């Protein structure tokens, strides 16, 4: 598992700067007044739709030049309107963090006061209170108050964390890797299956990999308190399978067919967290 250790070391090398690659989110734009391409430095001709602008960082380039711009988008916090429903890599780049801050904040709160709570992650909190937490993060970012004084029911915080993962436009386990994880789960031999899961993990974008790693370390802690919370790796797999991975095509039949494999993947990730990551 050397490649995993090397990657982990690279991800945690410098806590103050994270070089996660991010493609620009270019959209056709009509510029008012004269504009020059920030890639080739030539004038952008025309009256309308002269070029494209990255809606995450504001880079202005010719449409043709956009095909050659490197994946070096550095999102501007002023342009990121939400925490929820925002692309995972975009959010961590904007905040210059390893993982989405909502994940860190929620997990810290859950581990501080909820690990022994019966049915942790399985029991649902009130939907309206979970929506309140979502709005607090969208409005206040890392200053959102999710303390016991404000939300005494820990199930509201677990609900808000699960909702964050469900709302991601690209799931933590990405659409590109979904079918590979499902195929890995179908391998009968346990050792071969574990190796296949590890190989697919290496295909995840760094920010997704790091978020999944951090979550699995947390869920392993949850299982270590099973005698109090009654939540083992299989139970958590049932909860988090469809939360962390969704099929690329919106098919109810595919989702139903894959549910047991989604559960198994998460179960494997939790039980083998120390080896896989």
What domain range includes position 211?
101-275
In percent, how much of the chain has pLDDT > 90?
71
pLDDT band at 18 (very low <50, low <70, confident <90, very high): low
Considering 30-44, 45-59, 74-88, 262-276, the range whose residues carry the highest mean pLDDT is: 262-276
- pLDDT tens digits along 156-213: 999 999 999 999 999 999 999 999 999 999 999 999 999 999 999 999 999 999 999 9
Instruction: Give 19's pLDDT tier (boundaries 50, 70, 90).
Output: low
Most confident among 10-14, 77-81, 204-208 (mean pLDDT): 204-208
β-bridge partners, 61: 52
Of 262, 109, 113, 132, whose CA–CA distance to 197 is shortest? Answer: 262
Question: Is the pLDDT assigned to residue 2 strictly greater than 60?
Answer: no
Picking from 54, 88, 87, the residue whose alpha carbon sits closest to that of residue 72 is: 54
| CATH number, domain containing residue 68 | 3.30.60.20
* Least trusted range by pLDDT, from 75-79, 144-148, 213-217: 75-79
What pLDDT is stored for residue 182 in this prediction?
Answer: 97
Give per-residue pLDDT as tens, 92-120.
988 889 999 999 999 999 999 999 999 99
Are 206 and 105 in a shared domain?
A: yes
pLDDT at residue 1 is higher than 90 = no
Return the pLDDT at 202: 93
Number of domains in the chain: 2
The mean pLDDT of the chain is 90
Do 90 and 55 form a contact (C-beta atoms < 8 A)?
no
Asked whether the predicted pLDDT for residue 7 surpasses 90, the reply is no
Q: What's the CATH code of the domain at 146?
A: 1.10.555.10
Examine residue 82 and state whether it is found in any structural domain, yes or no. Answer: no
Mean pLDDT over 66-91 rounds to: 88
Examine residue 265 and state whether it is found in any structural domain, yes or no: yes
Question: Looking at the structure, do residues 66 and 112 belong to the same domain, yes or no?
Answer: no
> Environment class of residue 249 by beta-carbon count within 10 Å: exposed (0-12), middle (13-18) or buried (19+)?
exposed
In terms of domains, do 189 and 56 share one?
no
Centre a 10 Å sphere on the Cβ of residue 165 and count the other Cβ atoms it contains: 21
Question: For position 249, what pLDDT does the model report?
Answer: 85
Does residue 135 have a pLDDT over 50?
yes
Tokens of 235: 């139970």
Find tokens 């370390």 and name the residue: 217
């Amino acid at each position: 598992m050397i490649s995993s250790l090397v990657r982990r070391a690279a991800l945690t090398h410098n806590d103050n700067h994270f070089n996660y690659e991010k493609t620009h989110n270019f959209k056709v734009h009509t510029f008012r007044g004269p504009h020059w391409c920030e890639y080739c430095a030539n004038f952008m001709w025309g009256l309308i739709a002269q070029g494209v602008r990255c809606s995450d960082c504001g880079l202005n380039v010719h449409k043709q030049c956009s095909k050659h711009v490197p994946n070096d988008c550095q999102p501007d916090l002023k342009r990121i309107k939400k925490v929820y429903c925002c692309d995972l890599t975009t959010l961590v780049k904007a905040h210059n963090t390893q993982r989405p801050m909502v994940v860190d904040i929620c997990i810290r709160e859950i581990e501080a006061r909820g690990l022994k709570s019966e049915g942790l992650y399985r029991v649902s909190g009130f939907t309206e209170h979970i929506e309140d937490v979502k709005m607090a993060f969208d409005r206040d970012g890392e200053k959102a108050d999710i303390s016991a004084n404000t939300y005494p029911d820990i199930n509201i915080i677990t609900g808000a964390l699960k909702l964050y993962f469900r709302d991601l436009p690209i799931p933590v386990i990405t659409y590109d890797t979904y079918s590979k994880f499902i195929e890995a789960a179908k391998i009968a031999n346990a050792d071969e299956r574990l190796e296949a899961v590890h190989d697919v993990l290496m295909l995840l974008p760094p920010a997704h990999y790091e978020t999944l790693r951090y979550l699995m370390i947390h869920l392993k802690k949850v299982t270590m308190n099973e005698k109090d919370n009654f939540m083992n790796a299989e139970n958590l797999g049932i909860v988090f399978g469809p939360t962390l991975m969704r099929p690329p095509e919106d098919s109810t039949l595919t989702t139903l067919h894959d549910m047991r494999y989604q559960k198994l993947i998460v179960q494997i990730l939790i039980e083998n967290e120390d080896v896989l990551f």
